[in-house]
Amino acid sequence: MRRKLVALATLCALGLALILTRTTLNQVRADNALNASAPTATANAPGKGRDRCGTRDLDETTAASYQNSVNAFTKSRGQGRGPGTVTIPVFFHVVNKGAGIENGDVPLSMLQAQVKVLNQSYSGATGGANTAFRFVLAGVDRTTNVDWFNAGPDTDAEREMKTALHTGDAKVLNFYTNNAGGFLLGWATFPFWYAGDPLMDGVVCLYSSLPGGNCCDGVPYNEGDTGTHEVGHWLGLYHTFQGGCAAIYNDFVDDTPLERSPAFGCPAGRDTCPKPGLDPIENFMDYSNDPCMHVFTAGQSTRADAYSAFYRGL
C-alpha cells in the first residue's frame, strides 16, 4: 500500500513537472536543493518531503491581462471596501480514508479552529492588514474515499471529488481537507478561473495542517496558515516570490518587496533581490513556516478586495 502511494505521488509530481514549464513546484524543489547543502536544511525543509503549495502558476501575459481588467474595474469602482465588510461562508468537505483523525476524519473542533485562524489572519489580529474579509462556518460534509483522500492537483480524482462535493456559487469557499496528493500542504484556484471551471473552485489543504494537526515531522505547519495561504490565492493573491526579482511581472503588489525564491523556516534578514526591502518572509503568501508567517500587507488587502469583487461578485 505504501509503495503504491509513493508511486502515485511520484506520478503526480512527474505529470506536473511535464505539463508546466514554469511551475511553483519547480521553484520549490530548486530551493530545497539549495537548502540541502545548508546546515539548517532539516529544520527549514517542509516535513515529510512535502511542498508547501501546488497552486498552478500562470504566465506573464495572462497575469497581465487579468491585471488590466481589474485595474479598469478598480478605476470605475472607486473606493474599496472597509475592514470586515465581507463575510464568506466556508463549507468544509472532510475527505478521509476511514474513521479517526489519523485517517483524515478531523473533528469539528479543528474546522472551527481553522475558521478562527482565518478570521485572525484576515482581520490583522496577528499583525497584518485588517482586510475586508471575515469567515463563518456554513457546513460540513464527510466522505470516506481513498482515491479522493490521496487526490492531488489536476488529477482525475480531484475532478471526481470536487464534482461530487462542490457546493454553492463563486462566493462560497469550498474548503476540502485530504492528504493533498501525498506531497503537498495544499493548493487553490484563483478567482479568475471560476467562470471557466466553476466546479473545481476552492481550496484543498492537508488535513493535518489544520490547527493542532500532527503535520509534518516536527516542522510547524500545523497552525492553520496553509488554510490562510490557500484562501489568499482563492481571493486573488500570488506568491510573494512570483516572478522572482522581475520588476514588472511579480505579485502585482507594491508593498511586498521582491523575492527571488520561496523562503523556508524563518530566515530573518533574508534579502534575495537587489531592489530595496528585505524578503517578506513573514507574509502569508511566502513559504515560511506557520509561526513565522503572520501578515498580509495593505496592498494585498486591496488586491484581494478588487479581485474577489470583480471575479467572484463577493
Q: State the Cα–Cα distance between residues 197 and 120, nearest whole angstrom.
A: 30
Residue nearest Zn ion, CB atom distance: 53
Taking the least distance from each CB to Zn ion, the nearer of 129 and 285 is 285
Site for Ca ion in 268-287 (CB under 5 A): 271, 273, 277
Taking the least distance from each CB to Ca ion, the nearer of 179 and 256 is 256
Residues 183, 49 contacting (CB under 8 angstroms): yes
Residue 53 as a binder of Zn ion (CB under 5 A): the answer is yes
Minimal distance, residue 229 CB to Zn ion, in Å: 5
Minimal distance, residue 221 CB to Zn ion, in Å: 13
Q: State the Cα–Cα distance between residues 117 and 111, nearest whole angstrom.
A: 10
Residue 115 as a binder of Zn ion (CB under 5 A): the answer is no
Residue 235 as a binder of Zn ion (CB under 5 A): the answer is no
Give the angle 193-196-198 at the CA atoms, nearest 5°: 80
Return the number of other C-beta atoms located less than 10 Å from residue 254's C-beta. Answer: 12
Task: Return the half-sphere exposure (C-beta side, CA atoms, 13 A cut-off) of residue 312.
Answer: 25
Q: State the Cα–Cα distance between residues 30 and 226, nearest whole angstrom.
A: 21
Q: Which of Zn ion, Ca ion, none does residue 172 bind to, with CB < 5 to 8 Å depending on kind?
A: none
Taking the least distance from each CB to Zn ion, the nearer of 53 and 106 is 53
State residue 142 phi and psi, 5-degree precision.
Answer: -130, 135
With contacts defined by CB under 5 A, name the span among 47-55, 87-95, 107-115, 202-210 that binds Zn ion: 47-55
Burial (CB < 10 A; 0-12, 13-18, 19+), residue 312, is: buried
Taking the least distance from each CB to Ca ion, the nearer of 64 and 140 is 64
Minimal distance, residue 249 CB to Zn ion, in Å: 17
Residue 222 as a binder of Ca ion (CB under 5 A): the answer is no
- Provide the 3-class DSSP secondary structure of residue 176: strand
Residue 293 as a binder of Zn ion (CB under 5 A): the answer is no
Return the number of other C-beta atoms located less than 10 Å from residue 56's C-beta. Answer: 18
> % helix / strand / coil in the chain, to the nearest 5?
40, 15, 45
Active site residues: 230
Minimal distance, residue 188 CB to Zn ion, in Å: 7
What sign does the dihedral 9-14-20-22 (CA atoms) show? Answer: positive
Site for Ca ion in 228-257 (CB under 5 A): 251, 253, 256
Residue 162 as a binder of Ca ion (CB under 5 A): the answer is no
Q: Which of Ca ion, Zn ion, none does residue 53 bind to, with CB < 5 to 8 Å depending on kind?
A: Zn ion
Minimal distance, residue 153 CB to Ca ion, in Å: 24
Residue 294 as a binder of Ca ion (CB under 5 A): the answer is yes
Could you list the residues that contact Zn ion (CB under 5 A)? Answer: 53, 55
Instruction: Give contact residues for Ca ion (rule: CB under 5 A).
Output: 225, 251, 253, 256, 271, 273, 277, 290, 294
